[in-house]
């Protein structure tokens, strides 16, 4: 873990639970794509920088999930690097309590206030094209989270952040986190058509051909949607929909899964309603969902 892998003349990634991209701007200066999950990840990155006599000039966060920004504060404190994050995700990077609060739908209980959902705050600036070094461009990848982006380097390496999950992850957890289902599907269709020398997803193995995995993720989204519609042949409240999904896939409910999967299921319900496949009913003080 935390081995440095070179995948282009100037493009690297650091093997970690959420892969960290590294782009060599010059012989002595580098920037990061994300920073890992916590202070310890930041320390591991710092050791790699020191071994190679590299100066860290900037961290470009793909989005504000804690496992991608957790090393920000440590590395910024150690190197005085600048940090950039896209759109709304910049605000969440600066005010990290917003992630567990958003997921839970209110002030999060202590079971959700841990490093996997609540990163230390860092000082981030809005990501704009002019912030990027020569030889690096951003790619809009919305859907998984608010304004998530990926990056393409001059080596034709594309860092895809969390826009898709590995087959093993989907087989184990079944329901990957999605904020905007329509945008997520559009992103996957976009990624499916992409060509690059190498794709580096944060939570899957690097590959030269991303299309099969993108399609697998698309199919899984439609599978989840179809199951929700089927459950709602009879009017069901959100909690019942969530329960049936957990029972269907043999998932174990805890606070973290309730927040992550629950937020995702609410997004599916909203998408299916907007798409005309579900309708919302208000009966006896309850919001119920029914297939159309």
The 3-state secondary structure of the chain reads CCCEEECCCCEEEECCCCCEEEEECCCCEEEEECCCCCHHHHHHHHHHHHHCCCEEEEEECCCCCHHHHCCHHHHHHHHCCEEEECHHHHHHHHCCCHHHHHHHCCCCCHHHCCCCCCCCCCCEEECCHHHCCCCEEEEECCCCCCCCEEEEECCCEEEEECCCCCHHHHHHHCCCCCCCHHHHHHHHHHHHCCCCCEEEECCCCCECCCHHHHHHHHHHHHHHHHHHHHHCCCCEEHHHHHHHHHHHHCCCCCHHHHHHHHHHHHHHHHHHHHCCCEEEEEECCEEEEEEC
Residue 92 is assigned to a structural domain of this protein: yes
Residues 229 and 276: their CA atoms lie apart, in Å, by: 11
Q: Which of 42, 264, 274, 39 is nearest to 162 (CA)?
A: 264
Residue 266 is assigned to a structural domain of this protein: no
Angle (CA) 259-262-265 rounded to 5° is 150
Residue 180: give the domain boundaries.
Answer: 4-222
Burial class (CB in 10 A: 0-12, 13-18, 19+), 72: buried
Would you mind telling me the total number of residues written for the chain in this entry? 292
Give the total number of structural domains in the chain: 1
Q: Which of 117, 237, 247 is nearest to 174 (CA)?
A: 247
Residue 241 is assigned to a structural domain of this protein: no
Residue 141 is assigned to a structural domain of this protein: yes
Residue 229 is assigned to a structural domain of this protein: no
pLDDT at residue number 49? 98
Residues 192 and 52: their CA atoms lie apart, in Å, by: 35
pLDDT at residue number 208? 98
pLDDT at residue number 129? 82
pLDDT in tens, 218-230: 999 999 999 999 9
Residue 280 is assigned to a structural domain of this protein: no
List, in sequence order, every residue forming a beta bridge with 7; answer none if it has no partner.
none
CB within 8 A of 22, min separation 6: which ones?
4, 11, 12, 13, 14, 30, 31, 32, 33, 48
pLDDT in tens, 256-291: 999 999 999 999 999 999 999 999 999 999 999 999
CB within 8 A of 239, min separation 6: which ones?
none
| CATH at 142 | 3.60.15.10
Under-70 pLDDT residues of the chain: none
Residue 251 is assigned to a structural domain of this protein: no
- pTM surpassing 0.95? yes
Q: Which of 29, 31, 32, 9 is nearest to 19 (CA)?
A: 32
Residue 250 is assigned to a structural domain of this protein: no
pLDDT at residue number 53? 98
């Amino acid at each position: 873990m935390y081995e440095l892998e070179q995948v282009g003349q100037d493009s690297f990634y650091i093997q970690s639970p959420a892969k960290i991209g590294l782009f060599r701007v010059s012989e002595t200066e580098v920037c990061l794509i994300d920073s890992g999950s916590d202070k310890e990840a930041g320390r591991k990155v710092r050791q790699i920088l020191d071994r190679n006599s590299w100066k860290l000039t900037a961290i470009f966060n793909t989005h504000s999930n804690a496992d991608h920004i957790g090393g920000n504060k440590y590395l910024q404190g150690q190197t005085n690097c600048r940090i950039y994050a896209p759109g709304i995700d910049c605000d969440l990077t600066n005010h990290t309590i917003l992630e567990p609060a958003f997921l839970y739908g209110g002030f999060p209980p202590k079971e959700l206030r841990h490093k996997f959902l609540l990163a230390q705050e860092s000082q981030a600036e809005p990501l704009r094209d002019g912030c990027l070094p020569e030889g690096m461009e951003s790619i809009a990848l919305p859907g998984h989270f608010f304004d998530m982006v990926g990056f393409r380097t001059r080596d034709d390496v594309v860092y895809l952040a969390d826009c898709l999950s590995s087959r093993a992850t989907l087989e184990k957890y079944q329901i990957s986190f999605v904020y905007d289902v329509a945008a997520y599907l559009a992103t996957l269709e976009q990624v499916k058509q992409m060509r690059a020398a190498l794709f580096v997803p944060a939570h899957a193995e690097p590959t030269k051909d991303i299309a099969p995995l993108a399609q697998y993720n698309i199919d899984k989204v439609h599978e989840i949607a179809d199951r929700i519609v089927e459950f709602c042949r009879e009017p069901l409240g959100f909690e019942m929909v969530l329960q049936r999904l957990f029972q269907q896939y043999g998932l174990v409910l805890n606070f973290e899964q309730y927040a992550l999967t629950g937020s995702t299921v609410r997004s599916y319900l909203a998408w299916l309603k907007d798409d005309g496949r579900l309708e919302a009913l208000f009966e006896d003080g309850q919001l119920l969902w029914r297939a159309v």
